[in-house]
């Protein structure tokens, strides 16, 4: 089972890579990868080519992958994973539930009376033990957290369940777990995420993971890295990972990653090193032309942003770099909705939020641009 902080780090890095996209942003990506790819539930990764589809937003992550090995005898692989946060916000407090599910399926080619795949794939090798099988895991985690202007603290506790069958080997295991995670954002394009996780299976000594990940990003791409240490019980080793995304085009990116897993408290898989490199395509929309940003009215250290009243039938809010992307109500002044904020001179991204929670930037708003994840932001210059 991949440590939760790595998944959270990747989502954070993806958001940062879009240069302060609004919290309501979302994206669909299609990817083609090659390498030694390791599913969270795969007991024996191998070199393969893989195609994948991924959807992500701040409360949802869905991934579907399928892989064809490059060596004879290695099975075909397919997997799916999903994460969903159901939460309510009151002021700066978050309370809710995290639901996670993973599925993996392997088909042993040597056990199938199929026609060999064409070049560059090797034909199936006859004989040997059948390595076909499946693995399933699920996780239920109540969560409680607090959001500040430059940090987020959250704690969770719950249970994970794992069931698998590969050949004639079966496994069924449950683990109680709890974690505490702090996300620090000292700068707009930098996130630091320390985490502590505790796992305990019935009748076993508890194991503890302590680690941290760092992400940084710009419109040109993103970089992330993580490292940790296992202690207690049967755990051992120092897992680590490093990766990045380079934007080759507004909708095409080059992705690469290397990861070392040393212990899995749920599946008890052996230590594995995996790597991948490939291309991903943003499928949720193409970048739109950017209208030139214009200076906001700026007087006595306060900037004023206006939205025509005709743009929305209900009172809107506004969220942006200037208020840590926390929606703040706008006030009606004549034919405009108006927001004033104390800021230093600079360039700021922002978006409007409707009464139903939807994020929007009407056409014609100065500085309107695609956020790269299916939505829009606007850019304002304070001088």
Domain topology for 297-382? Immunoglobulin-like (2.60.40)
Rounded to whole angstroms, the Cα distance separating 297 from 349 reads: 16
Model pTM score? 0.67
Rounded to whole angstroms, the Cα distance separating 316 from 134 reads: 49
Higher pLDDT, 371 or 358: 358
| pLDDT beyond 70 at 17 | no
| Tokens linked to 190 | 């930098």
Rounded to whole angstroms, the Cα distance separating 88 from 107 reads: 42
Residue spans in the chain of domains classed CATH 2.60.40.10: 297-382
Residue-wise pLDDT for 191-221, tens only, equals: 889 999 999 999 999 999 999 999 887 767 8
Residue-wise pLDDT for 93-152, tens only, equals: 889 999 999 999 988 866 554 444 443 444 444 445 567 899 999 999 999 998 766 678
| Tokens linked to 64 | 């579907």
Residue spans in the chain of domains classed CATH 2.40.160.40: 4-282
365 touches 307 (CB < 8 A): yes
Cis, bond preceding 335 (omega within 30 deg of 0): no
Residue-wise pLDDT for 44-98, tens only, equals: 777 889 999 998 766 788 999 998 888 777 888 899 999 998 988 776 788 999 9
Domain topology for 4-282? Porin (2.40.160)
Rounded to whole angstroms, the Cα distance separating 110 from 62 reads: 31
Q: How confident is the model at residue 298 (pLDDT cuts 50, 70, 90)?
A: low
């Amino acid at each position: 089972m991949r440590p939760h902080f790595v998944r959270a780090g990747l989502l954070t890095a993806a958001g940062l890579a879009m240069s302060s996209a609004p919290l309501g942003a979302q994206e669909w990506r299609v990817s083609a990868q090659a390498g030694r790819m390791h599913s969270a539930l795969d007991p024996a990764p191998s070199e393969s080519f893989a195609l994948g589809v991924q959807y992500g937003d701040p409360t949802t992550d869905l991934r579907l992958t399928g892989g064809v090995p490059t060596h004879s005898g290695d099975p075909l692989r397919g997997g799916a994973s999903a994460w969903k946060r159901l939460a309510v916000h009151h002021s700066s407090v978050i309370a809710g539930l995290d639901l996670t599910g993973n599925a993996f399926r392997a088909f042993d080619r040597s056990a199938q009376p199929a026609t060999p795949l064409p070049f560059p794939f090797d034909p199936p090798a006859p004989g040997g033990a059948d390595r076909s099988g499946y693995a399933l895991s699920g996780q239920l985690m109540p969560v409680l957290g607090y959001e500040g202007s430059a940090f987020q603290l959250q704690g969770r506790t719950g249970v994970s369940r794992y069931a698998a069958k590969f050949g004639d080997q079966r496994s069924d295991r449950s683990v109680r777990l709890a974690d505490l995670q702090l996300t620090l954002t000292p700068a707009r394009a930098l996130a630091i995420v320390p985490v502590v996780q505790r796992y305990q299976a019935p009748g076993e000594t508890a194991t503890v993971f302590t680690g941290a990940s760092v992400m940084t990003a710009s419109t040109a791409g993103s970089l992330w890295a993580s490292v940790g240490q296992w202690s207690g019980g049967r755990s051992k080793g120092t897992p680590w990972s490093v990766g990045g995304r380079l934007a080759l085009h507004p909708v095409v990116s080059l992705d690469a990653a290397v990861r070392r897993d040393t212990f899995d408290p749920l599946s008890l898989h052996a230590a594995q090193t995996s790597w991948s490199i490939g291309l991903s395509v943003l499928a949720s929309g193409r970048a739109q032309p950017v209208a030139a940003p214009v200076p906001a009215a700026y007087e006595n250290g306060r900037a004023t942003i206006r939205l025509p009243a005709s743009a929305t039938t209900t009172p809107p809010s506004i969220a942006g770099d200037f208020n840590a992307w926390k929606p703040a109500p706008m006030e009606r002044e004549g034919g405009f909705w108006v927001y004033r904020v104390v800021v230093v001179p600079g360039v700021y991204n922002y978006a409007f939020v409707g009464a139903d929670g939807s994020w929007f930037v009407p056409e014609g708003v100065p500085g309107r641009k695609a956020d790269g994840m299916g939505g829009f932001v606007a850019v304002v210059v304070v001088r």
